Structure 1
Amino acid sequence: MKIGPYSLANNVFVAPMAGVTDRPFRQLCKQLGAGYAVSEMAASNPRLWASEKSARRINHEGEMEPKAVQIAGADPTMLAECAKFNVARGAQIIDINMGCPVKKVCNAWCGSALLQHEALVAQILEAVVAAVDVPVTLKFRTGWDRAHKNALQIARIAEQSGIAMLTLHGRTRADGYSGEAEYETIAAVKAAVSIPVVANGDITTPEKAQYVLQQTGADAVMIGRAAQGRPWIFREIDHYLRTGAHLPSPQITEVKMLMHEHLRAHYAFYGDYLGVRTARKHIGWYVRDLEGGEVFRQQMNRIEDCAAQLDAVDAFFELQAAQGERLQYRPAEEKLAA
């Protein structure tokens, strides 16, 4: 699969997630089989570009190509300038966010709130495409709510505006992350346009990825929440799609090594003080479905030193290794009872 001039390793992608898909996590996912990853959402307001938070969000130093930055806003001129700003700093693909359902984003008429204004959507897409000489993509939802679904209209506007690829989360803004994804809408969008379409929503296993690709005809799948704490899900899905066979669960020694790599990169990226605190959510995701994971997560939240955090992770996985050489997730019924 290609986006503009860029040939991707496969069609299993990492979804942009605020507070999650920072550079260390994106890089790890790519190393573990993700064919493509997009940065966290960067604000289009130029007054925020110099902030430490924004600078980290658009930091792609040493990242595997192609380097994609997602931008968000409601003003066509401002978004065009933001796209140019990021391309000048190394972005090779610009993704426009019209899918975020979070209230503070929608209240500013950004994210999925824009789906209510198709004329403005066209103005934004045309302005950004004209502003840069790199591929521009769009991530959006099926509509504002179930009574106002306009994914087909938005998709056609995007294609006419020169958008290179569409990613559709199969829910409306009102749905948030509840209910089941509308794969039939993704299929209808794929049938209506000639540009690549990526299916997003509820893709949690290799079998589900294969099902979604078959049901929608999409060119790729994008994985979000299912990758939190399981970055190896990308190689598992890619392997299954290519061979029809399952990879075994990762060895505990490998997971321990990967966590060390991830955490050290995370500390270097954020600094010790912020790094040890923001790493807690990632560690919690890694251990949440493992025996003793919830107790360990609570203990982890009291550690405020990077070295101590790494030592605690090592000790936890040494206990896991006593149960076998590979990760052993708790049965679903045990997780529900916990």
Structure 2
Amino acid sequence: MGYKVAIVGATGAVGREIIKTLAERGFPADEVVALASGRSAGAEISYGEDRVLKVRDLERFDFAGTQLGLFSPGAAVSAVHAPRAAAAGCLVIDNTSQFRMEPGVPLVVPEVNPQHLARRPKRGIIANPNCSTIQMVVALKPLHDIAKVRRIVVATYQSVSGAGKEAMDELWSQTRGIFVNDPPTPEQFTKPIAFNVIPHIDRFMDDGATKEEWKMGVETRKILDPDIQVMATCVRVPVMIGHAEAVHVEFEAPITERQAREALREAPGVTLLDTRDDGGYATPLEIAGEDSVFVSRLRRDPTVPNGLAFWCVADNLRKGAALNAVQIAEELHRNGVLDAA
């Protein structure tokens, strides 16, 4: 027997990827409902090879009898409709930033802290972390188990798909415009993104950090270890899909490159691709559509005690969003949590 599953924000880039991922992985769903704003009602989205979902109006949808809701509609929409769904008995996995740091809401990456999926949370909501946090903690978990992470300095190189379909369209139109002498006009970003990099994701905070940089710190502590210090610089780059990160880690105890390599080779969700020759590393272009977090350029950092540095890359629409949400749902299914709803 399968579940009734609602996909909220179904017409967005992440929503479409969630629908695709559910079908590809054969999640046990007897009925899948695609929900979005009223202006998208009636649109059609493919589910697997032979099914088509007709988008329904979120405002009018009754969540009673729906066991699982996968939300990616934007934080303001989730703030209203995720609690409404939970009150109707639907267990919500929310991909927005709305609930991540709220007490009583588990923030989960299944390869890192699956223990939080053993029972239904009281509020009926589980949060999916930020895309840049997810790939970093997946790579860090096997290393943290060996030597315990003390401090992280990370620079991200985040693709435009992390800002949505309109941002992807802006990169495309600006790139094309440059070749026909049509000067770019920024709309989704603060400066032109074509042939440029922008060290600004989300709003600025009082201390000079951006909200995206703040998220990486607080989310890493909530997921992995409350004592870890994180210094992040988050940068938007002119890439369609795939986030990359240069990560420098200081550990509390000694850890060798060999130990790290062995741990990463065995770690769930990680692919170690690091041959130290031309092309012996992962880049966003080649990993689009892949499920793993790819780790490359692993080496000792001699500037701090017990230091290592590495490069990691992941598809932000898959492991950074849709896949992580579906993996949470799969773990809830295995644990019988959805059956108890």
TM-score by length of 1: 0.30
Larger strand share, 1 or 2: 2
TM-score by length of 2: 0.30
Larger helix share, 1 or 2: 1
